[in-house]
Amino acid sequence: MLKIRQYVFWLVLCCIITGRASSADDSVDSSPSESPPEGRIAKSDTYSKPEYDPGTSSLELQGRLAIVTGGASGIGRSVAMVLARENVTVIVADINETGGEQTIKYLKMLSSHLRHRAIYVDVRNSTSVEFLIQCIELQYINMTISIVVNSAGILHEITPVVNLTDNTFDNVISTNLKGTFLVTKEAVKHMLARNVTGAAIVNIASILGKGGFPGLSAYTASKGGVVAFTKAIAVELATKGIR
């Protein structure tokens, strides 16, 4: 009990000291009657952070058309939102239609003037991926795909390799690695046919793909494959305006 009281005493004392230090820092600001020194902003009760201007783009990506697989949730959704904020028209490609539509609502809050769309796709299936690209080409006749983010992926439960089923292994590899391959393949066909330059393909991998993790053999194998695949494609497409 004594130790607890001593701990509380020192904790309170530290809080008091910290509070006084903060007050002291505030006191060195210019008085209300003085103009703030050049380069400093005077404090104001009415000051508010400037709102984002949807007509600007810090990354100079405005006007582009992007595909984000796995955009219905997680990393994919976050990437889609950043692109929308940068005035990029985003195609949310996901097997989760409900989540995809929810992402579109978020994107329209960021850039309502753009035609963002959610399109169903099963990245494991070549026919589904081909249909995705065809839909985009029909619905965005005056635009070309110049950004692709392969974010669709799944993670299996930690399982010893002796207990890992063929079905689980195949599903993870098909989604994470084969899906990245299929979407990249069809997107590159589209880009080359239209002489797209300055295009970018981003494949989401994982540090586990380089170091491994016990019990996640299928996942680490899939992400390791994504890393190697990305390196090979980068060299292959380097002279074609696609990175």
**Residues annotated as catalytic (active site), given as ranges:** 219
Query: What is the rounded distance in angstroms from the CA atom of residue 23 to the CA atom of residue 76?
Result: 43
Query: What residue type is 179 in one-letter code?
Result: G
CB 126 within 8 A of CB 184: no
Query: What is the rounded distance in angstroms from the CA atom of residue 202 to the CA atom of residue 180?
Result: 10
Provide the angle, in degrees to the nearest 10, between the axes of the packed helices 179-193 and 217-237: 20
- Asked whether the CA dihedral 179, 184, 185, 191 is positive or negative, the reply is positive
Q: DSSP secondary structure string, 226-242?
A: HHHHHHHHHHHHGGGTB
145, two tokens: 């795909």
* 200: helix, strand or coil: strand
